[in-house]
Structure 1
């Protein structure tokens, strides 16, 4: 049965958006491999847990090896693991910079390289990466140039890889969210964060999950940066 059902790998799957994506794939009867630094084993036999730092190449090696050993295939990779730290540009430290590169860029590189090697041989597959709307519409109230530096690179790589692999049956897309209501944002900040979106609310985890599921089923869509940001990427607004 493991060779017939679809299999998804989700990074940063211990909480928030990643946990929501993993749960949604299970509800669609996918077998799931969930990885993050802090993830704990569960009781679902069809969700394999692989703890590890996504910035470490060995995590990608162990994750894909475990997926193939247990389930025999990988159909979808969701590059969800990422970090965000709003600071004035000159306040970032060397440690901040290295952390951004490790999680956002190196994690994408190691996981996506493994995925595309396997999916290219399979002749099918989908890679979808979670980026940020700040790449397209920076805000002076949320200084986050390192997010733009790293996540902007992922948007560019998404398009490049979509073209490189377009003839192989493998698709590469991204979801570019606004500010999503997750545990990283305290409730007392929600009103101010909601006002940063033209639609006047923060996004919900379900909004990002729906976008990922749409892209996963959209067989003629590749190289797409799908904005799920309450209108942020469309332009400026006044509150």
Structure 2
């Protein structure tokens, strides 16, 4: 559809392979790095400006997730989730917002959270990643209010259980029954929700559940 993309990932080789699947090399630039480090967001912005002239959209979809009982989580593991999920989103968004404000034409930011923030599953203990994602939920609301005068919209997609490599060690289909649609989600369905929020010019500060009816079924 003519969209230019700056793709990010920790592994440069895997990132290049993923970018190649899009089939439009002239519209895709890659920037590998640790999302939890401040300079990574600055590099992403610099690449976007140099290759495509600016930044209009940010999708914060980098993250990490792994279930583990609360009392077994180590300090190092907690730091891992806070860095990858919360710190990375915060610092990358800072770099992008500075550029959007300089451009003066508004923009759209879409964060990726989870419906498990408000609707935890007893048999799926994940306090560390959920604590970090909870911070991203709060950040979404706060930035939507703060950045509205700049016409920068900030929203979030909150997936339910989705089939992704993050859950490679878990039989995700076993959780399909918790959703009204009796199945888990697929990555493309999350992407469709992100695309909607990017283009929804009168929507900001919204948390959009994409969960197959999980939240409604528990209400």
TM-score (norm 1): 0.83
Q: 1 CA distance for matches of 2:163 and 2:211?
A: 12
Deviation at 1:234, TM superposition (A): 2.5
Which residue, out of 53, 61, 71, partners 1:80? 61
1:158 alignment partner in structure 2: 140
**Superposition RMSD on alpha carbons, in Å?**
1.7
2:167 alignment partner in structure 1: 185
Alignment length (residue pairs): 210
1:78-103 CA-to-partner distances (Å, cap 9, x unmatched) read 00001111111111011110100110
Which residue, out of 132, 136, 140, partners 2:122? 140
1:65 alignment partner in structure 2: 46
Q: 1 CA distance for matches of 2:41 and 2:34?
A: 9
Deviation at 1:70, TM superposition (A): 1.1
Measured at CA, do residues 188 and 64 of structure 1 come closer, stay the same or move farther in structure 2, by a change above 3 Å? closer
2:87 alignment partner in structure 1: 106
Where do residues 9-48 of structure 1 align in structure 2 (5 Å cutoff)?
28-40=1-13, 41=16, 42=19, 44-48=25-29
Where do residues 187-202 of structure 1 align in structure 2 (5 Å cutoff)?
189-202=171-184
> 1:120, 1:169 within 8 Å by CA — same for their partners in 2?
no
Deviation at 1:196, TM superposition (A): 2.7
Deviation at 1:72, TM superposition (A): 0.9
1:209 alignment partner in structure 2: 191
5+ long unaligned stretches in structure 2: none
Q: What's the secondary structure of 2:144's corresponding residue? A: helix
Measured at CA, do residues 184 and 151 of structure 1 come closer, stay the same or move farther in structure 2, by a change above 3 Å? closer
Q: 1 CA distance for matches of 2:83 and 2:166?
A: 20
TM-score (norm 2): 0.90
Deviation at 1:144, TM superposition (A): 1.0
Q: 2 CA distance for matches of 1:235 and 1:153?
A: 25
Measured at CA, do residues 190 and 146 of structure 1 come closer, stay the same or move farther in structure 2, by a change above 3 Å? closer
Deviation at 1:225, TM superposition (A): 0.4
Q: 2 CA distance for matches of 1:197 and 1:214?
A: 22
Q: 2 CA distance for matches of 1:215 and 1:95?
A: 34
Range that drifts further, 207-216 or 141-150: 141-150
5+ long unaligned stretches in structure 1: 1-27
1:18 alignment partner in structure 2: none
